[in-house]
Chains A and B, each alone.
Chain A
Amino acid sequence: MSKPFAITLDPGSSLANKTGSWRSQRPVYVDRLPPCNAQCPAGEDIQGWLYHAESGNYEAAWRHLVRDNPFPAIMGRVCYHSCEGVCNRGQLDAAVGINSVERFLGDEALRRGWRFEPPTTESGTHVLVIGAGPSGMSAAYHLRRAGHRVTVKEAGPLMGGMMRFGIPQYRLPRDVLEAELQRIVEMGVQLQLNCKVADLTAEMLQGYDATFLAVGAHIAKRAFIPAKDSSRILDAVSVLRSMEGEDKPMLGRRVVVYGGGNTAIDMARTAKRLGATEAVIVYRRTREKMPAHDFEVEEALQEGVMVKWLSTIRQAGEDGELTIEKMTLDADGKPQPTGEFETLQSDSLVLALGQDVDLSLLHGVPGLVLDDGVVKVDPATLMTGCPGLFAGGDMVPAERNVTVAVGHGKKAARHIDAWLRGDVRAPAPKHAMARFEQLNTWYYSDAPKTMRPQLDLARRTSSFDEVQGGLTEDNALFEARRCLSCGNCFECDNCYGVCPDNAVIKLGPGKRFEFNYDYCKGCGICVAECPCGAIEMVAEQV
């Protein structure tokens, strides 16, 4: 074509005009810390494994998950999912059912027989883990992955700690528990059951390069309640432990549980299933003040458990007659006696007033410092005052639940690993939080949360069948896809599409995007229209 001068131009000749020079600020892709990740006591990359689950790549999702936590099937049943409490989606419609999806992945792994890979190289060092509960087994898992030789000594006849001996079967079926624990052992962990360590100092001298203590807190706290000899007073810890044995405990028809924590609830619901016609919880404050999780209270009430609020037990009399004093809350929310009394008949009184750590094995350990009944540790490393001796779980100052314990196991393992190499493990710098205000929630489809099915009441109170069901695959996929992917690009192509200057380069599936700063004018539409807030504007250096 013989083009007339200046009037007619060749296509795309505008590429010579680098409009990027107009900018006063530029967009950059960022990874922000999703609140679920930040919140998870086990340090799971929740957004990361949900990302894989969303595409139906369940094995990839599971493997991403177990990088941090080896117990998804257990977590999906017993974790209190504080992640969901901070989930940004909660401010949109309802939190993502992270716990449900985690359970699905855990169950899927068990269905499909996905294994943990044993380590490829051995480090040559040997670590002792005392206690095969969640904390100890989590530590064993991570240590084994790092190639260390691990020996786990467990005083009891079975692995699991409080997961086995505290949490009832209707919340955590034992075959699931056993399978997830066994999977760790199969990595090459040496497990010694029925092996109580009485003298830690002596034990540590048996040639271990480091030790992780996770004996838990399995001694029931006692309260002073004047009692007759004939009164049957038990403690919840022992009762629940005995549920694992052949002979189930005989609690009688009318069971009174004293306390307001999750153990009290577990105890009352267990009593119901054992055949108690009446299971009554006596608690000194109100439902709002009760430390037990509200959904557990709700489930208990649905099952017919009764609760006497604002009540304390003053005395355990003849033939199980309990003297109850009514309490009232003062201006500070503390319960105060009213002087009003009543009686309550019981066949057994089970105390669920908290647990203490058995500190006897720690006698004489050099450098160890105790603090209010638990072992003091460096919060950054979980190392005790004794070099090479680490501790975690219920026996150190922390919130007491399985997830926290699992998190401790991972953290301690990582620091043990560093300590063994003579390194100091510096904490990885954390990204800025992915806040709800940074999201553009318009782009997410309307999708209400999927509720997990629940066992009907009749069966719940008559058996130890699992109460909470799991999600079907369709539902789990749906639920995973409700994740907003806060602060982390999930390749929705929005930035690529909304740039008026065609200044975003799409790098390909899994490779995200890049800005073409030759042409980007810094308008900021990409930032505004990124659904998950994974782009921010920074000032240009002029």
Chain B
Amino acid sequence: MLRQIEGSVAVAEAVALARPEVICAYPISPQTHIVEGLGRLVKSGALQPCEFINVESEFAAMSVAIGASAAGARAYTATASQGLLFMAEAIYNASGLGLPIVMTVANRAIGAPINIWNDHSDSMSQRDCGWIQLFAAHNQEALDLHIQAFKLAEELSMPVMVCMDGFILTHAVERVDMPTQQQVDAFLPPYEPRQVLDTADPVSIGAMVGPEAFMEVRYLAHAKQQMALERIPQIADEFEARFGRNTGGLVRAYHCEDAETIVVALGSVIGTLRDTVEDLRAGGMKIGVLGIQSFRPFPLAAVRAALQGARRVVVLEKSFSVGLGGVVSTDVRLALSGLQLHGYTVVAGLGGRAITKASLARMLHEAVADKLEPLTFLDLDWGIVNRQLAREASVRRSGPIAENLLRDVGTVASKVN
């Protein structure tokens, strides 16, 4: 049924349709509307039987989910940024134990400096933990991915995080097609745990594994993600067959068949890129967009297949590895090893800085002319940066860089020069 609702609300309703049994709620911007929506559904009786638990921290949220999932319940939680980091230990634990928890990450920058707006640094910080990471490009996909995520997680016994851009998607009111309960029930069967805490068949879960078996256990997790590479597109197909739309999958290519230049991106910026590329193509540029939906497992083969015909690849990412450069671009580069093409990393939108069509167009013109630096920061204010660097070269002043910059920008009055 078509609805004009906020992204968070859509996600809440989609999660509810998946019949979760235990929901852990700890608030953090910008995920709050999701858990609030679910809380209302549970408390009103619309979603039952379901336990909605107001936990005391994100660490508790994931821990409660772990306990619930291990006892055979379908468990869900949501977080972002600082909260994701706060539960980092538990995240590794969940994937290590193979518990099919589904979690929404409303992508948000990580402090210091504290910043509540969108970028991908939070999910990226957990890319090695063993969770499957799926990125939604728009609210319909965000909604759909949650339903697909439960199915995927429970089949593989592996937790899945569905990443959606904070504020940009979560707080955007868009038209979405909400499935019916029957449709979802037909697609997603009840949870049949692979291992479960059961008094009739006791087991000890969470043994200490030493050097003699640890590598094997970790390899098996990797092997499982390899299986996911097969299953993700299949589930997307199954979803399409039932729900009539193509969302999810590993990658989605737009006009890549004849493109000499392909821009690779994750998340909502794909929408902006598509619009930009439409315009550029109209002007004759042979340019396409490759959107990655499954970041973990990273679809090396699919990415390579989509990009190998191009002459240059621009990876536009809302993430950044301090001291190195791009995060996504490193993975993409791996997919392209051995191929001769130009690669450019464009870091954009950190901390929620808007990515405009104009800036993109400008950047792509340069890319196509091969005038782009290997590593570029879109719309960076070089003035501020250079002045700060000059200041630091002359005077060693301790204190956060941020304060210094803000003083420069004039936002903060300086008490001491």
What is A's interface to B at a CB cutoff of 8 Å?
A: 1-11
Contact = CB atoms under 8 A, between A and B. Distances in A.
B209 A4 contact: no
B206 interface: yes
Contacts of B217: 4-7
Contacts of A6: 207, 209, 213-214, 216-217
Nearest to A4: B98
A10 B207 CA distance: 11
Interface in B155-178: 157
Nearest to B205: A8
Given A1-B194, A3-B194, A3-B203, 4 more contacts: A7-B96, A7-B207, A9-B207, A11-B204
B202 interface: yes
Given A1-B194, A1-B195, A3-B195, A9 B216 contact: no
A8 B220 contact: no
B201 interface: yes
Interface string B381-400: 00000000000000000000
Interface of B: 96-98, 157, 194-196, 198, 201-207, 209, 213-214, 216-217, 220
A8 B216 contact: no
Contacts of A9: 203-204, 207
Contacts of B98: 4, 7
Nearest to B219: A5
A4 B213 CA distance: 12
A9 B202 CA distance: 9
Contacts of A4: 97-98, 157, 194-195, 217, 220
28 contacts: A1-B194, A1-B198, A1-B201, A2-B195, A3-B194, A4-B97, A4-B157, A4-B194, A4-B195, A4-B217, A4-B220, A5-B216, A5-B217, A6-B209, A6-B213, A6-B216, A6-B217, A7-B97, A7-B98, A7-B206, A7-B207, A8-B203, A8-B204, A8-B206, A8-B207, A9-B203, A9-B204, A11-B202
Contacts of A3: 194-195, 203
A1 B194 CA distance: 6
- Secondary structure of the A side of the interface? loop
Contacts of B216: 5-6
Contacts of A11: 202-204
A254 B250 CA distance: 125
B129 to A, nearest CB: 16
A8 B202 contact: no
Contacts of B196: 1
Contacts of B203: 1, 3, 8-11
Contacts of B205: 7-8
Identify the interface centre among A5, A6, A7, A8: most chain B CB within 10 Å of its CB: A7
B201 A5 contact: no
A6 B217 CA distance: 7
A125 B123 CA distance: 103
B157 to A, nearest CB: 7
**CB-CB nearest 7 A-B residue pairs:** A6-B213, A9-B204, A6-B209, A2-B194, A11-B202, A8-B205, A4-B98
B215 to A, nearest CB: 10
Nearest to A14: B204
Identify the interface centre among A3, A4, A10: most chain B CB within 10 Å of its CB: A4
A11 B199 CA distance: 11
A4 B198 CA distance: 16
A7 B208 CA distance: 7
A10 B206 CA distance: 12
A5 B203 CA distance: 13
Contacts of A1: 194-196, 198, 201, 203
Nearest to B207: A9
A108 B345 CA distance: 104
Contacts of A10: 203-204
A115 B10 CA distance: 95
A208 B202 CA distance: 77
A2 B203 CA distance: 11
Contacts of A8: 195, 203-207
A1 B72 CA distance: 12
Nearest to A3: B195
A6 B213 CA distance: 7
A307 to B, nearest CB: 79
Identify the interface centre among A6, A9, A10: most chain B CB within 10 Å of its CB: A6
Nearest to A13: B204
A15 to B, nearest CB: 13
Nearest to B224: A4
A6 to B, nearest CB: 5
Contacts of B198: 1
B222 to A, nearest CB: 13
Nearest to A10: B203
Nearest to A1: B195
Nearest to B70: A8
Contacts of B202: 11
B217 to A, nearest CB: 5
Contacts of B207: 6-9
